[in-house]
Homo-oligomer: A and B are copies of this chain.
């Protein structure tokens, strides 16, 4: 059964001091830590394209996994809504060339935002099982610095650039359990790009997440015949400190500490936020079963159980 074998990431070293941005926008340090959750927001260099972030994350994966051979990779998915080019070609093709991956690799982009990792792991697992492919790399890379207006206090203090690479294949330590998904395009205008600039209605997105995510997680647990106390951790999208805290408080049955909050040095990295948590806390930790949930652009949401084999 295809599962998650390893996760690596690339987080740019350069970035923005959020306290300095706070001075500009009259936000104090307490607000920055307790509501936004990030003191530093990594930013890619102007010369780096989305595909370059993907390549960095995959190279980190190669370093961590000497047994992962370039020529064995036969499936590649990039989750992004800010690819290199204008619509076409897809970013995966550019990544294939930059990395010198075999030309027999099956490669496509998935367009999703903050829910993208949850969808992506099932899309990759399913595609590999349906086609008999053996070694898949699921990449997340959605550098919002390409579309953020640095004068927009609603977005420029929230988002950070990052990329992650998840190796999926047989003999994996972590397997995918039940999943649930949702889409409500009536909320599409709350997160969108117009004339190259990103706009977010933060209040509407916050309300959506608070209404949807705790209930969705409870539905997922019911589907899985699991009580909440059987989940070692909840790794939900790190939209902001405020939304993680609010979802944790609204979700009944577990201490709020089970909702992992770790975004002080990254910000909201869109589809990379969940795999960043998993890389840091799950892969080498002692958890046996976790729940993940992503939510955002679309509006779109997805939740799933991951468990140790």
| A47 interface hit (Cβ, 8 Å) | no
Q: CB distance A300 to B93 under 8 Å?
A: yes
Among A20-28, A98-106, A282-290, which stretch is in contact with chain B?
A98-106
In the assembled complex, the CB of A200 is this many whole angstroms from the nearest CB of chain B, namely 10
Q: Digit string of A119-153 for contact with B (CB within 8 Å is 1, else 0)?
A: 10011011111111000000000000001000000
**Could you tell me the distance between the alpha carbons of A35 and B267 in the complex, rounded to whole angstroms?**
54
Q: CB distance A89 to B105 under 8 Å?
A: no
* Interface of A (DSSP majority class): mixed
A97-B185, A180-B104, A183-B106 known; A193 vs B86 contact (CB < 8 Å): yes
Q: CB distance B110 to A108 under 8 Å?
A: yes
Please pick, from B90, B119, B192, the residue contacting A106 in the complex, using a CB distance under 8 A. Answer: B119
Across the interface, which residues of B come within 8 angstroms of A188, CB to CB?
Answer: 85, 89, 93-94, 97
**Could you tell me the distance between the alpha carbons of A92 and B101 in the complex, rounded to whole angstroms?**
30
**Could you tell me the distance between the alpha carbons of A47 and B98 in the complex, rounded to whole angstroms?**
39
Interface size class of A (residues with CB under 8 A): 35 or more
Q: CB distance B119 to A126 under 8 Å?
A: no
**Could you tell me the distance between the alpha carbons of A196 and B196 in the complex, rounded to whole angstroms?**
12
Please pick, from B104, B112, B132, the residue contacting A108 in the complex, using a CB distance under 8 A. Answer: B112
Among A37-45, A75-83, A245-253, A273-281, which stretch is in contact with chain B?
A75-83
Please indicate which of the listed interface residues A101, A107, A119, A129 has the most CB atoms of chain B within 10 Å of its own CB: A107
Please pick, from B89, B111, B132, B178, the residue contacting A298 in the complex, using a CB distance under 8 A. Answer: B89
Q: CB distance A88 to B107 under 8 Å?
A: no
Q: CB distance A184 to B110 under 8 Å?
A: no
Across the interface, which residues of B come within 8 angstroms of A302, CB to CB?
Answer: 106
A106-B119, A192-B88 known; A131 vs B179 contact (CB < 8 Å): yes
A106-B183, A108-B111, A183-B105 known; A90 vs B130 contact (CB < 8 Å): no
| A59 interface hit (Cβ, 8 Å) | no
| A95 interface hit (Cβ, 8 Å) | yes
**Could you tell me the distance between the alpha carbons of A92 and B113 in the complex, rounded to whole angstroms?**
13
